Chains A and B, each alone.
Chain A
Amino acid sequence: MVMNREQVLEQVRTVMVDALGVDDDEVKQESTLMGDLGAESIDFLDIVFRLEKAFGIKIPREELFPAEAIMNNPEFVNNGKLTENGLAELKAKMPHTDISEFAKNPEMSKFADLFTVGMIVNFVESKLKAA
């Protein structure tokens, strides 16, 4: 069955409600996982497991949330900002995310805001297309 974006969003919303204990009207495409929905590190793994189950897809480690590999590499982060190389790496690792706004002032304190519900929907759509 081919799912349209609205159907994917609806399933992603259910995953967020179950994983994070939020109300479904709080889950909007622009909601940030950590800032708006209160996700903590273990919740990201919970979300990955639930997405795999809900959509019947496999999500390899770091594919959906590649933050750790980037944040802990001095080549990619310098003085609290993402470097040129870091931005290139981020772009390559997160094709399902529009980083153009973030790239203007790539402060690490804003990094978490890249992880939104809409980003997950993009990711799932690309996975479903590839399947």
Chain B
Amino acid sequence: MRWIWIDKFVEFNSGESAVAVKNVTLAEEHLHDHFPGFPVMPECLIIEAMAQTAGILVGEAKKFEEKVILAKIKKAVFHDFVRPGDSLRLAAKIESIAPEAASTMGIVTCNEKTVAEIDLMFSHIDQNLAGKEFPEENFVFTDTFKSLLQGSVFNTGKG
């Protein structure tokens, strides 16, 4: 099953930008070890949350026909700890999109304070790595993953 690490989308402008929310809870067991007595969200998992937000934005822009894979973390700067009880607002924007790849810019805020800046690159893998074959089915955008968009208030039309 596809691992889902964001809770819902609150804004979605097809091909342009999206905002998702991730609520952090002490029920997440890794926080008990990271660190004992001082639980903070691992920064790599903040990157994952942004990768899912921006990845769905990039995938939807091509009607989920491409297999969109995180290919490069262009920038990841962290300004503050994220703790249990925090609600992260992940805002992603498409900077460039081409047949073979896309680049995104992202800002993560908590209570309107910027906690991270994360810029990513995604590869449309069927358009790259000539000669290699990937499974026919789109293993990135499973129904479960796409269901994140259902029930969200979003706008897929431009303007």
Contact = CB atoms under 8 A, between A and B. Distances in A.
B130 A68 contact: yes
Contacts of A41: 128-129
A72 B130 CA distance: 8
B130 A61 contact: no
Chain A contact residues: helix, strand, loop or mixed: helix
Interface stretch (B4-12, B21-29, B93-101): B93-101
A3 interface: no
Interface of B: 71-72, 74, 95-96, 98-101, 103, 121, 123, 128-131
A46 interface: yes
A49 B103 contact: yes
A22 B74 CA distance: 13
Given A18-B74, A19-B74, A52-B96, 12 more contacts: A41-B129, A42-B72, A42-B101, A42-B123, A45-B121, A49-B98, A49-B101, A53-B95, A61-B98, A61-B99, A61-B100, A72-B130
Interface residues of A, number: 14
3 closest Cβ pairs, A-B complex: A49-B96, A42-B71, A45-B101
B140 to A, nearest CB: 16
Given A61-B99, A61-B100, A46 B131 contact: no
A61 B101 CA distance: 11
Contacts of B121: 42, 45-46
